[in-house]
Amino acid sequence: MKCPQCQTENPSESEFCSKCGMQLMPSPDIPVTKTETVLNPKEELTIGSMFAGRYQIIEELGRGGMGSVYKVLDTELGEKVALKLLKPEIASDNLVIERFRNELKFARKITHKHVCRMFHLGRYENTPYITMEFVSGEDLKSTLRRVGHLSIGKTVYIAKQACEGLAEAHKLGVVHRDLKPQNIMIDKKGHTHIMDFGIARSLKTKGVTTAGMIIGTPDYMSPEQVEGVQVDHRADIYAMGVILYEMLTGDLPFEGKTPLSVALKHKTEIPREPKEFNPQIPDELNQLVMRCLEKKREKRFQNTAEILNELTGIEKNIPTKEMILEGKKTIFWAFLRKLKERKIIHTVVVFIGGGAALIEFAHHILVGHYHLPKHVVDYIIVTLILAMLLTVSWQWFHGEEAVRRKSRRLRKAKFQRIAALIAFALLIAVAAWQFTPLPEILGISPSSAGLSTEDSVQTASPEEKKISEPVAAEKPETKETKPEPEKKTPPKLEKAESKPEVSSMLNQGIQAFNQGNFDECIKRMEEVLKIDPENTSAQYFLSEAKNKKSEKAQEQEINEKLKIAQDAFQKGDYRQCAEQVQEVLKLDPQNAQARRLMSQIRMRMAQQQAKALVIEYVQSINSKNLVAFYEKACVPQLFQRLKQKTESSMSMFESFQSTASDVNIQFRGLNQAEISFSNIIAGVSKNGLKQEFFSGQVIWRVRRAGDTWKIWNITSTPKEKKQISQNIQTDSLS
């Protein structure tokens, strides 16, 4: 094929010009995919809902280029799996679906601990879906975005596991063709799992995948994929080299404004060595990456076993502390590592140690010995605590940015932090000034304005007198050089004697609250309020204790009702179980255990109701009372259609004998289901002759109406025919 821009000859299956990158017209032998309209699912997949009558939705994991992915429970197997719903524009392409189906046969052959297994490709209500193994963890791309580049040990550890999974796939003749960090999951134990072999293609079989079709992501695409020529397992080795490059440096080897520009750089430009960005990379690992990124596949590693041998040799020279230990990588340890990286641990230790000492001795020394006002000391403590929180937050976010950009701006950060702390302290001071008079903040007594201690006590309120009395009594003793005549002190107020008792009761109540003894706390706080009705601490703890007592009683009631519900469920008494669960949901509408139990109850009760409905149907035929059954069990529109034909059928025979078996119910959502069963009806004529009236499969489509189900569609299929004509179909009823 000749390029219309530079007139360069290209292979007929090429999609882009090998010289200038111009997009070429597709070859006539490449089939054109016809588009068909595919309807979206009628019901939104919400948590707890059912899909395809089998998969119960647990949560949505994400949305990607192919469609939405959900974590679901396979109710038939009792296991959690991943469910991927394909987008309508993909699902409408029959060739794409056929390719997935064809290639899934090969992907399912890969059984390896480092490969995520593909289970099933199906279709439900015009929506194709794929089920696969569910891996709880984080994909490698998200990890790199969060922490930047990885250590040498972690990089080698992840790469070895990924190569082991690739080696197994290549052994079976399967190439991934779209290997990238988004398709590599790291579980909670640090194990690697390669996903999405669904677009892979067997090298030994000519599948539906068209030659010349470019499959892959430009950032990780090998040169031969860019050219659109036939690829082999060495394309995955090139992608592995790009992934290693990104793990070691935090950046991709090539970047561009458009996907096409990136793809062309993979074909024409030589990347800079990763050691230029990260000098800690060993020479052996640096050479390994560059060999994986060779433009000509003949110069790359020829199989993943060679890469594994190289990585194993490199791993021996890496310190043990840099390696990822299986089963040890938890969220807690990762959090501690972040604290260490951001230099937060020492800050927290200093503030906690200093804060504990300050709180322990500040009131004793500053208030008791130096007689500083208590609220001034409280302001200082609160300011220091807020400064600690501000410092820790600053270090956290600044440390994350420093790790990501590999920059150290410590001096600038220190100056900025000091300026922010000063500004914050000024804000606290201004707020205190607005709400508290200046003499009260600074602890200035009236004597500083020219009044004697005695005068100040006499003009003060009873509370101020109580504080001033010891000061007035101690003043003559402290001034030995200038003895003053003995002065009369005001008589002690009886109200002052109650303070130690109030303080003791308040402390006892708070201690009882912290121990969870809310009755004792309520009792003590009520006693305090009898003596001091304006005590805000007692009012607060009294209110909180009553709330906690109420919550504790409610929690105990919920637990008791849930236990009764569980026992009733085990015994098969679903009505009692439902009553208890409904009472729990009235108390706590978001109770997860109750909501899960209610879902199970509805399914079990629906199964019982379905069997009971079929039994009632059989009995109504045997008693020639089928019209009454239809009137009770069907929606009015369907009953009006069935009434005349049913009366005519019932009059044809003297009696009927009916049996039903193989009753099954499949849910189509929370409020719709299909009940299917095998039915045999024999009629006895007036002259005593027995004749088979019907034998085949019956399907009722039902919808929930309160606590019962109503039939809105009936389909009967005799054994000898594919579809009946004598019974009623009401597809228009909804």
125: in domain: yes
Please count the CA atoms within 13 angstroms of the CA of 494 that sit on its side-chain side: 1
Selection from 165, 173, 85 nearest residue 129 by Cα = 85
Q: Do 170 and 265 fall within a single domain?
A: yes
CB < 8 Å & 24+ apart, contacts of 664-672 = 665/606, 665/607, 665/610, 666/53, 667/50, 667/53, 667/603, 667/606, 668/50, 668/53, 669/43, 669/49, 669/50, 670/48, 670/49, 670/50, 670/602, 670/704, 671/703, 671/704, 672/701, 672/702, 672/703, 672/704
Using an 8 Å Cβ cutoff, are 515 and 541 in contact?
no
Q: Do 185 and 291 fall within a single domain?
A: yes
* Residue 445 clears pLDDT 80, i.e. is over it: no
731: in domain: no
What CA–CA distance (Å, rounded) separates 124 from 49?
15
Select from 590, 614, 645 the last residue of a domain: 590
- Element housing 83 (H / E): strand 79-86
pLDDT of residue 15: 65
Res. 345 pLDDT band, cuts 50 70 90: low
The CATH number given to whatever domain includes residue 76 is 3.30.200.20
734: in domain: no
What do you get for the CA distance between the two ends of the chain, in Å? 56
80: in domain: yes
| Global pTM value | 0.44
What CA–CA distance (Å, rounded) separates 300 from 307?
10
The CATH number given to whatever domain includes residue 554 is 1.25.40.10
8: in domain: no
Q: Do 82 and 119 fall within a single domain?
A: yes
Q: Do 103 and 156 fall within a single domain?
A: no
Give pLDDT tens digits for 261-285.
999 999 999 999 999 999 999 999 9
Question: DSSP states of 449-464 as a string?
Answer: GT--HHHHHHHS-HHH
* Residue 564 clears pLDDT 70, i.e. is over it: yes
The CATH number given to whatever domain includes residue 660 is 3.10.450.50
CB atoms under 10 Å from CB of 655, counted, come to 14
Q: Do 126 and 143 fall within a single domain?
A: no
Locate tokens 């800079």: which residue? Answer: 272
Q: Do 615 and 574 fall within a single domain?
A: no
Q: Which structural domain, as residue segments, surrounds residue 241?
A: 137-322
Q: Do 296 and 197 fall within a single domain?
A: yes
Q: Do 294 and 417 fall within a single domain?
A: no
Res. 392 pLDDT band, cuts 50 70 90: low
Locate tokens 């088979």: which residue? Answer: 692
Q: Do 581 and 609 fall within a single domain?
A: no
Res. 619 pLDDT band, cuts 50 70 90: very high
Using an 8 Å Cβ cutoff, are 709 and 690 in contact?
no
Q: Do 231 and 277 fall within a single domain?
A: yes
Tokens of 4: 């219309």
37: in domain: no
Give pLDDT tens digits for 102-114.
777 778 888 899 9
* Residue 187 clears pLDDT 80, i.e. is over it: yes
Res. 139 pLDDT band, cuts 50 70 90: very high
Locate tokens 């922010």: which residue? Answer: 420
Give pLDDT tens digits for 633-672.
999 999 999 998 888 888 888 889 899 998 888 887 778 8
* Residue 396 clears pLDDT 80, i.e. is over it: no
460: in domain: no
How much is the CA Rg of the chain, to the nearest whole Å?
39
Percent over 70 (pLDDT), the chain? 68
pLDDT of residue 270: 94
What CA–CA distance (Å, rounded) separates 224 from 561?
66
User: Which residues fall within 8 angstroms of residue 459, CB to CB, at 6 or more apart?
Assistant: 446, 451
Q: Do 126 and 150 fall within a single domain?
A: no
Select from 414, 442, 470 the last residue of a domain: 442
Q: Do 146 and 280 fall within a single domain?
A: yes
Domain total of the chain: 5
Largest CA distance in the chain: 139
Q: What's the whole-number mean pLDDT along residues 403-426?
A: 56
54: in domain: yes
Beta strands in 196-339 (DSSP E): 201-202
